[in-house]
Each structure stands twice: as C-alpha cells, then as structure tokens.
Chain A
C-alpha cells in the first residue's frame, strides 16, 4: 500500500518534486497547464530527480558540465572574458495546442512587419496616408535612408526573433521585435543540446518537438534567393569581441556557413567575394550579424571598421542576398508597437492575434497628454533607445519612480521634443518552475521565439525558443543580464494517456538534434589560414619553451653533482631569452624557468603563448572540434614558483597539453588545407627554434651537457643512443637534430614537409612558374640537404634562420590578408 504513505504524509518529494510547488493557479505556467501537459512536466522533473539520486540539486552541476563541454559562452557588455552560459535544468513546457495559437500570431506578426518594412523602403504609402508618422520612422537610428528604393531579391526579413511574455491570466503578449539580429537563436539550439545530453531520454519521453527541421528550413531559406544553383553562404560577424560571437561561430558551424569578418570580404564589379587561399571566391548570400550602419563604410558610416566597402553595390546589382536586408531594424523601435495594432487592421483587415504591450508614442498630442496624466501606471522609455532628457542611457523607467522635480523637467522636455518619448503599460509576467538549490520555485520568465523563412519563402516557427528566467525582473535586454538564467523551451504534444497512467509513454518523436549539415568543401578564407598558421607556430613554440624550461630545471638540479653543467644552465637561460620566453637571464635558474613557464610579461612564455592560442582558438571556433576547444580552454593548475619539483611537473604538464592540442587539432582538421596551414606554422617554428638552439647551446667546445640538452630539446636522445652507443659528440648530435631525415623533430624533416605542403596548396602560377612560397621552400630544403654536420657553422645556421623567416613572410604575402589596414580618409583640408 505505497499510496497510503503518500496520502498520509504528502507526495514523496523525490518521486514528484512538483507536488509541493507553490505556483499561482493562473499566473504560473505549470500550475495553469492542462492535466496532460502537467503530467509531461512531472515526468520530466521526476526523471531529473532520479538522475540526481532522488534530489534535484545535483542535476544543476551535471547541466553545468554539459554546458562547459559544449563550450557555450557569452559576454555581458564590458566583459573582457567570456562567461559560461547559465542554463537551468527544468525546461519551460508549453502544450502543442497553446503553442499553435502563439505560432499563428508570430507568423501574422512577421508577415505584417515585412509589409511595413517593404512600404517604408518602397512606396511609403503608410506615411503619405497618415497611418505611420514620418517622424516615427525617421527617428529610428536603424532607418537607413540609403536603402529607400533598393529592393531585396524577394524579402526584407528572413529571420526574426520576438520576445514574448505570458501574463498573470495566461495571455501571451509581444514585448519586442528583434529584427536586426536573432540573438539567442544559437543559444536556444545549444540549450536543447545540453539538456538532451544531460537528461538522457527524458525530453523524448515527454514528447518534446524536435527543432532540426527549423534550422534546415532557415538554412534553405537564406540560400533560396541566390542566383547560382550551388550558392555559397557566409555568416558575417562583427568579430570575437561581439556579445554573441560564440553563438555566431556555433551557428556557422552548425549550418555549414563560412564565418567571415568584413576584412575577409571584397566587392569587385558588383559581386561579393571572400579572400581565400585559392584567391577570391564568390559569396551569394550573407547572414549578417553587423548593424546596417556599420556594414558598408562607403554607403553608411564612414567610420566603420568592421564593414565591407561597396557591399551595397553587390546588392544593387542583384548579385547578393542579405538576411535580413539592410534597414529592417526600423520596425524595432519601441514607438512602433503603438502603431502595430492599427497597421494590422489597415494592412490585413484583421486584429492582431498576439497583442503587444499597450504603447503610447508621445509624438501625437493626445498620446502625450495621456502619458503625462497616467505616468504612475506606465513605463517611460526613449522612443528610439537613444539618450534623451531624464533617460540619459536610452533605457526605461517606471513612471511612478519620477520625482516631482523630474516630472516638471519631463513636461518641459516633452514640450520641446515629445517624439523622443514612448510609454508602455506595465507588463506582469507569469512564473515557471525554476530550480533554486534543491527545490523548485516560481520565477518570472520571458520567451524569445524565432521565425525563419523556408525555401519557398513561408515563415516557420522554431518549436521552442530561448527561455529567460529573471532574478532581477528586468527582461527587456537583448541577451542575459547579471544573475539571469536561461531555459530550454519544449513544445509538447500531449500523449493520449490511458486512464490514470501518470506519465506519457515513450513516443517516436526524438528531440536529439539532427547532425550538423555538411559544409561546402574547400573554402578556406585567408584570415582563417593566417590564424591556423599562427596557432601552429605558437603551439610549437609553447612546447619548446616548456621543454627548454624542463631541461634547465634538470641541469640546475644536477649542478651539485656536476658543477660543469653551469655553462649549460647559462646557455639554456640565454636560449629562453632569445626565444622571448623570459625578459632577463639574471637570477637563479629556478626563477628563470618559473618565468619561462608563468611570466605573462614575456611575450613567449608558456603562459603568454597559451593565452594567445586561446585567443586564436576563439577565432577558429567554427573549425575546431569540441574536444580540441575544450583542451585549449581547460584551465590548469596554477604555478608554484620556487619549488623545482612542482616547476618540472608544470613544464611536463604544459608539454603534454601542447602535444594533446596539436594532436587533437591535426586529427579534426583532417588532411585538408586548413590542416596544412596549421602544420606549416608548426614546421616553420620547429625548424627555426631548433636551429637557434644549435647556435646557442653548441659553443666552440661544447660539453656533454650542452649536447645532451640539445638532444633533449629535439626529443632525440633515444635515437642518438641507439645509433651511436656513446656520449654525445658535436657533429653526430648536429646531424641528428638538423640533418637526419628520419628524426621527426629535426630541421630537415620540417623543410621536407614544408615543400610537400607548398606543393599541395593552391598555386596561382602567374607566368607559368611555381609560386614564390614553393620556390623558396625548395631552395631552403636543398640548402639543408647539401649540408654536412662537420661544416655547420654559426653563420650557416643564422642564414637558415633568416631563410625560414623569409619563407614565413612570403607565405603570409601569398596566402594571408594584406597587412595594410584599410584607410578611411575624409576631406580634412577642404573646409575652413
């Protein structure tokens, strides 16, 4: 009689943690849900609880781990470092029938917004006939006058995000339209992935609708208007300091779009191209994550450094689709919401299915008077999110918070410029179960829904979205605020339950994401090649610095037994100095080794190089596997200086880390051009470092310690001993580390690989000859092949190091972006 206990003492909290949940009967999503949906909810939470060993608390840590493994991160404005993404384990669950109404309202809204945007940039009938005040349009900083008359191939809007709130009586309302950027769409995708990985089959047991069809439709929709049959689509990002860069990189990778920045692109003869290692390649469509005003410094803001000069000419010639078309952001202003209900009736002859928050734009005299009279019941905001009197940050304020003196100032400011102000009713939001510690507690939430056009141009709605759960109550921002939590949003088809069966049966709907769509092969932007090349160089240098530091520590430890090693200690310190790993060779060996490992002041210490590798990895995130990404970004134990044991351990850990990263990346890049650039950087660095080591470590009369240290750096001790069975002598050691073609860390091994790489990379072959990098690599290799160990002099080595530097420069000139920055000049002297 198990049920007896439950009757007497209440439900077992482990079996049903929602039994004691205290949500409001109407104003809480769970408490107000239909029995079937409530069961779905209970089933999921019970599964979570089972996973936590009868408790919900431990589940959060599991989710956090999956989030970290997926590499989901974001920035708050002003953040230097990325933050890990806050995701709660309990999804927001919405029944399919309720969702059907929301989705219909979203599609209606998307179609309406398209019509409005098309009119503003086309015939402007709405303004002429007085349905839309001209000053409401021109006030938006996202109104792009340059775009008037410049029509898109088919649609202005291609992807759209809409913020929704559920009111305390269950009605859904639109809070804001996000037309410029669908920020959060990638996070929604990643949230689903993290929850589905962390909870096993719980999502599919609940019957959550899958989301992969939506992303396939989005992808096909963006590519649909292109003229070529095999269009190339790129995602244009503002760069890694952008708030949602991690999301953009993830989306590019997931959808198989090239991730590009403005400087990767160039416009020629009315067409857009990406600079790749094989020359210019055409781009047919862009998904832009850059503001209209920054996207083309020739046609919009000349100060923009992230745009593409002349991009609009590719649009004008009809050779480029852009999602969303430039200028659509004009309908984003808060003031626009005041006109949406009327415009819906005017343009579509029907009421809005999903109401907005009631809004008054003060540009009209009646609206202004209404707002001034009812300030206490309204939220006051800047109409166009620009700084205005009393709202210097362009944000919102509760009308009731205004002091008497501020009200006088507001009245005066509205007397001069009423159009700068918009007021909205105060929106109260529903709550949803949120894990707080070990318990579920009601917390306010909003939902960002996403829409995209499919290949035939029809709007589709993502079944789900980005749930945002607020600790602060402020949910009007673009992304997450301090202390906010995100949640997966599940649209659930209730399973026909038989009798009193508490949980839905297993359904065939599988929430696991479909595999990422395969990317178009062979497109390696010059900048990505550049980044890979330097990643290879840094990774190798990092390894060698760690090796040299380890050897230094070992030699210094042997000093008591072998005072003759003091010269070697000195030379190893000099080598670290020459490599830029330490800023001085003064002081005990222990300190020098510690600096080489941990001093971020020196440009080539292990710590500095690992930081540079992490920065580059951010830029390469769309190409790296999650494992490599994790290996690079994983934090490691802090350095304890002054202790030789711990320093040696730290050096060895760095060597292992470096090797793991190199191996992982080389594996995941397959054997395509991307891998070649990584390996070219690695080979160049390895050859250059070992040559420098020969010159520094091998004086005129080298000791066995000197030569041993050199063998150690080249990881060639075993080879030497097996080959010569004796203590190190200069000529054979030099032969092993420089000239032996079978020694994988030797110089000649690197130059041979460099020749192979240059042969395999695309050739431009002007005037029928091999490209300069290939010619130089061949010369260099031939030069080393002709050397004899006995005749290797410091001068010969210096020449080799110079030639390697020359080859590096030549590769950069041929394959990478021009170092010259794009200059923008106005007519400084033309006036005054």
Chain B
C-alpha cells in the first residue's frame, strides 16, 4: 500500500514572540515494513539555526531557532510511504517467558525492549491499571494474544470522547474516567503492559481513514494518530496494536516515531520568550497514491474509524 502524506501545521502567536526554539518530530523514521521517500519540509519563515538528527528514542528531530520576532509559522511536510507489513506471527512467547527475554536482551538501542520497560514522565507506574489488566496478562498467554485482548477491552470499556482530555492528561485520569482519545488509550495500554513486565512503546503516526461503503475517501478529516507497540520477543520484535480501533497497526498505520510515551515523540514543542498565546492549527491528508485527485470528495461527517 502506498500513501502520499501531507501535513500542514500553523503556529500562531498572538503578540509575537522572540528567541523561539522548536523541536519538530514530523519526519517519519525507518520502521520494519515501512519505506519513506521524497520527504520535504517547507517553512514559511526561514529559521536562524536549524539542525536535523535522531531523537533519543525512535524519532527524527528537526530543531529550529528564530532569533527575531516570530508571529506565525507554517510547516508543511510531505512524503510518500510504502507499507508492506510483515506477517503477523502465528505464535508469540507466553507472557512469563517474554518477561525473561526482555530482561535478558543485550541491547540499549532505540528499539531495545529494555528501553520500554519502565515508567516515564507521562506514563508513571499505576497499580490500579496493572490490577485492571491482570486478567488478560496471565503468565501462560501468548503475549500478542494477551495484548490484543487488552486492546479489545480498552475499546469496549472506554468512551472515545474528544475534549475530555488534553495532551497532558496522565493515564490515571483517563483510566478513572474510562474516556479519552487515541493518546490516552495508548498510554493506558502501555502502562498496563509495563506493569506486567512487558515492554511497550507509544507510536505516533498517521491513519488512513477508510470511507464508509460507497462514499469517496475523506480528505482533511484525518488527524495525527497514536497507538501502542508491544515487544513480542526477539523474533517477532515490535507489533503495533491500535486500542482506539481495536486492530493491529498494519497497512492503514503510517509510523512517525516511537517513544516511551507522548512526551518522547511530541510532534511540535519548544520554548519562547514572550507573553503571546500559541495557537496551533493543522491539516493532515493521507491519500493512497493510486487514487486520482478526481476521486477526492469534500469532507463528510461520518467515519468508520476513530482517529486522534
């Protein structure tokens, strides 16, 4: 499956700011089964300094510094992603065995299971979430089966309710409210798995929104999306599971990056001097390349899938 992805982000500062420094994590990383081509990033205001490089987890970071006054910034990123998902293993190690494998893996790299075993700033350990997940994570259950059961329960028990949480909501709050958006669901799932010694990461990316039957695909209704990845042993590696849609992350999920939680892969963050309030506005288009522009219809309301 081949997609053309375009993200149009606009940052606005009401009264203008100075000495703005931004981290952009908008360039997709290399991921098993995903090839990215023709990445471009356009900035309507040229920065004073710009650097590119890998982030501490699995991310690509563009840093920008603006020494002068900045009142708005438009960032347009575009790329082509070709997805040929790896086969889903028939059998994965049971939970108890996987725990041992995770603590024995001799690597500290950005994909190392050890890197995703512990709590982080937005995913602190939580006994309540651990206890809630326990029935699905029995020692003898194959890990992928266990993780899918967990995703199914999140999908069933949690209400998808945009606006009830923010990008800073901790999983404990979303868990107590049993409501949230993709970020909250991914965080709850990650905390649950880690409480049982199973490495789990937070994946930031894009989702192709499937059209309802007989309708053309929606444009502009797509959003940035997030899901969880579970380490399924040295053979199978990382497998993406989307609790928001109760599905595996495969030919509809385009990976931007993976970290311990949202804080590691925040798409845009930074610091600046000034009292101006920052507002952000964005559009994401994920268009299958074999479709022609003629088929693109105006935005419609209904969607079979949840994003965000």
* Chain A residues close to B by CB (< 8 Å): 120, 124, 127-130, 133-135, 137-139, 144-146, 148, 266, 268-269, 297-298, 301-303, 309-310, 313, 363-365, 384, 386-389, 415-419, 818, 820, 822-832
Question: How many Å lie between the Cα of A266 and that of B226 in the bound state?
Answer: 35
Q: Are B182 and A824 in contact (CB under 8 A)?
A: no
Q: Are B100 and A417 in contact (CB under 8 A)?
A: no
Q: A135-B102, A363-B103 are in contact. Are A827 and B267 (CB under 8 A)?
A: yes
Q: Count how many pairs of residues, one from A and one from B, have CB atoms less than 8 Å apart in the complex.
A: 158
* Chain B residues close to A by CB (< 8 Å): 9, 17, 19, 21, 23, 49, 51, 55-57, 63, 65, 67, 99-100, 102-108, 110, 112-115, 117-119, 121, 125, 127, 130, 139, 162-163, 165-168, 181-183, 195-197, 223-224, 226, 263, 266-276, 278-282, 308
Q: A301-B121, A827-B280 are in contact. Are A135 and B57 (CB under 8 A)?
A: no
Give the residue of A130, A138, A818 whose beta carbon is less than 8 angstroms from that of B273: A818
Q: Are B268 and A134 in contact (CB under 8 A)?
A: no
13 additional A-B residue pairs with CB within 8 Å, beyond A134-B105, A831-B223, A832-B163: A124-B108, A128-B107, A298-B21, A298-B270, A301-B121, A302-B263, A310-B21, A363-B103, A365-B100, A416-B99, A822-B273, A828-B280, A829-B280
The minimal Cβ–Cβ distance linking B149 to chain A, given in whole angstroms, is 17
Question: How many Å lie between the Cα of A417 and that of B195 in the bound state?
Answer: 7
Question: How many Å lie between the Cα of A384 and that of B124 in the bound state?
Answer: 14
The minimal Cβ–Cβ distance linking A265 to chain B, given in whole angstroms, is 13
Tell me which of B118, B139, B165 has the highest count of chain A C-beta atoms within 10 A of its own C-beta: B118
Question: How many Å lie between the Cα of A829 and that of B280 in the bound state?
Answer: 6
Question: How many Å lie between the Cα of A269 and that of B56 in the bound state?
Answer: 22
Q: A133-B103, A134-B107, A826-B266 are in contact. Are A389 and B127 (CB under 8 A)?
A: yes
Q: A134-B112, A387-B125 are in contact. Are A823 and B106 (CB under 8 A)?
A: no
Q: Are B272 and A832 in contact (CB under 8 A)?
A: no
Q: A135-B103, A138-B108 are in contact. Are A830 and B273 (CB under 8 A)?
A: no
Q: A386-B119, A820-B275 are in contact. Are A832 and B280 (CB under 8 A)?
A: no
Give the residue of B49, B162, B275 whose beta carbon is less than 8 angstroms from that of A269: B49
Q: Are B278 and A825 in contact (CB under 8 A)?
A: yes
Q: Are B167 and A831 in contact (CB under 8 A)?
A: yes
Q: Are A298 and B195 in contact (CB under 8 A)?
A: no
Q: Are B271 and A822 in contact (CB under 8 A)?
A: yes
Write out the residue numbers on chain B whose beta carbons fall within 8 Å of the beta carbon of A388: 125
Q: A145-B57, A145-B115, A823-B271 are in contact. Are A130 and B108 (CB under 8 A)?
A: no
Q: A139-B118, A820-B273 are in contact. Are A827 and B266 (CB under 8 A)?
A: yes
Q: A128-B106, A130-B106, A822-B271 are in contact. Are A830 and B280 (CB under 8 A)?
A: yes
Tell me which of B115, B226, B271 has the highest count of chain A C-beta atoms within 10 A of its own C-beta: B271
Write out the residue numbers on chain B whose beta carbons fall within 8 Å of the beta carbon of A386: 118-119, 125
Question: How many Å lie between the Cα of A653 and that of B79 in the bound state?
Answer: 75
Q: Are A416 and B195 in contact (CB under 8 A)?
A: yes
Q: A298-B270, A826-B266 are in contact. Are A832 and B108 (CB under 8 A)?
A: no
Write out the residue numbers on chain A whose beta carbons fall within 8 Å of the beta carbon of B263: 301-302
The minimal Cβ–Cβ distance linking B242 to chain A, given in whole angstroms, is 14
Q: Are B272 and A137 in contact (CB under 8 A)?
A: no
The minimal Cβ–Cβ distance linking A3 to chain B, given in whole angstroms, is 68
Write out the residue numbers on chain B whose beta carbons fall within 8 Å of the beta carbon of A128: 106-107
Write out the residue numbers on chain B whose beta carbons fall within 8 Å of the beta carbon of A124: 107-108
Q: Are B281 and A829 in contact (CB under 8 A)?
A: yes
Q: Are B108 and A137 in contact (CB under 8 A)?
A: yes
List 18 interface pairs A-B (beta carbons < 8 Å), by A numbering.
A124-B107, A127-B108, A139-B114, A139-B118, A145-B115, A146-B55, A148-B56, A148-B108, A269-B49, A417-B195, A419-B197, A823-B278, A824-B270, A825-B278, A827-B269, A830-B267, A830-B282, A831-B226
The minimal Cβ–Cβ distance linking B43 to chain A, given in whole angstroms, is 16
Write out the residue numbers on chain A whose beta carbons fall within 8 Å of the beta carbon of B163: 832
The minimal Cβ–Cβ distance linking B65 to chain A, given in whole angstroms, is 7
Give the residue of A266, A313, A389, A829 whose beta carbon is less than 8 angstroms from that of B279: A829
Write out the residue numbers on chain B whose beta carbons fall within 8 Å of the beta carbon of A133: 103-104, 114
Q: Are A823 and B272 in contact (CB under 8 A)?
A: yes
Write out the residue numbers on chain A whose beta carbons fall within 8 Å of the beta carbon of B104: 133
Give the residue of A138, A302, A303, A313 whose beta carbon is less than 8 angstroms from that of B114: A138
Q: Are B56 and A297 in contact (CB under 8 A)?
A: no
